[in-house]
Amino acid sequence: MDAVKTKKISLIVLFLVIGFIIPQFVTKPYYLHVITMCLLWAYLASSWNLFCGFAGQLSLGHGVFTAVGAYVAVMLFNDYNISPWIGMFAGAGAAVLLSILIGYPTFKLRGAYYALATVAIGSGVVVLIENTQALGPFRVGGAEGLIVKLMGNAPAFFQFMSKQPYYYIALVMLIIVVLFAFWLKNSRLGYYLSALKEDPEAAEALGINVRNAKLVAAAYSAFFTAIGGVYYAMLIRYLEPNAIAGPMMSNEMVFLAVVGGSGTVLGPVVGGITLHAISEVIQFYFGDLAQGLHLFIYGLIVVFMIMFKPQGIIEILQKYYNRFLGITDRGEDEKSVKRTAGS
């Protein structure tokens, strides 16, 4: 057991060291930006997974939380000069409130009502933003979008002239959400979510307050997703309504988490980094051949993974991980025994 723990710690340290030294070797801004976006998508997929993966509740409109967090923080920054480091918590608080408003009436219902509600509200938010130039004293920007006020190299206002700080912030954000996911999965709430994911009626019969458990988990997910939306806004420095709140943002989180392995701690991280990297490579090499070809190829990869590896990429990595730790798979043992007996 001590040897297994030592190997686990060694592997964690190795990945952390690799993560922190990457900017020392990847110096070109474009490549570092691509890697940073991989970390951001891994973070967003993990944020979606905190509720939807652990509780088995589908959300197809999580982009609404990135939009709420981003717009609240940017409007506070643009109009009142409030640092995004502070405004992000206001935006995250607004996203939590919205998640409760969506979840409270729908979590009592069976079926896909929550998924439909998130889609409807997400679409409504896009239309609302596109047709709103100002909201009271705040400038929203309408369909033209909202440009983040530039301050130059101003770390206190979440703005840097180099890509390196953005990379390290994304890395720290990802580490935080992974640690939180690990804590949540092994907490009492995590066990509640696992139970209601398997059988909501049985979980309720055992005394679990299903709606309250879902509301808390949804609030956690909305909070972290909104923080990711603020980061996206400060990295890109421009908010376009359909890009930040539209179906592409929401669907991407779902694809990355599901293909990586939803319901696991590291599955969405693996899916986010791997699939976004593949998407960038495909777009770079095939984007000019035919319009939308890179999206078609990317879609085929997603469909292939869902068909042949429904448990996600993490299932493949888990086998190699177990071998590294010296843990023998029980299924392989049984096959080996049968082969021996047959011979």
Which residue from 36, 85, 44 is spatially nearest to 66, judged by alpha carbons?
A: 44
pLDDT for position 343: 36
Residue 335 has pLDDT above 90, yes or no: no
> Which pLDDT tens digit goes with each residue over 196-225?
888 888 888 888 898 999 999 999 999 999
For residues 178 and 275, the model is more confident at: 178
User: How sure is the predictor about 324, in pLDDT bands with cuts at 50, 70 and 90?
Assistant: confident
Phi-psi region of 263 (alpha: psi -120 to 50; beta: other; left: phi over 0): left
pLDDT for position 122: 87
Mean pLDDT score of the chain: 88
> Which pLDDT tens digit goes with each residue over 270-285?
999 998 898 888 887 7
> Which pLDDT tens digit goes with each residue over 64-111?
999 999 999 999 999 999 999 999 999 999 999 999 999 998 887 776
pLDDT for position 312: 86
User: How sure is the predictor about 315, in pLDDT bands with cuts at 50, 70 and 90?
Assistant: confident
Annotated domain spans of the chain:
2-326
> Which pLDDT tens digit goes with each residue over 234-247?
999 999 999 999 88
Residue 119 has pLDDT above 70, yes or no: yes
CATH of domain 2-326: 1.10.3470
pTM: 0.91
pLDDT for position 306: 76
pLDDT for position 206: 86
Residue 172 has pLDDT above 50, yes or no: yes
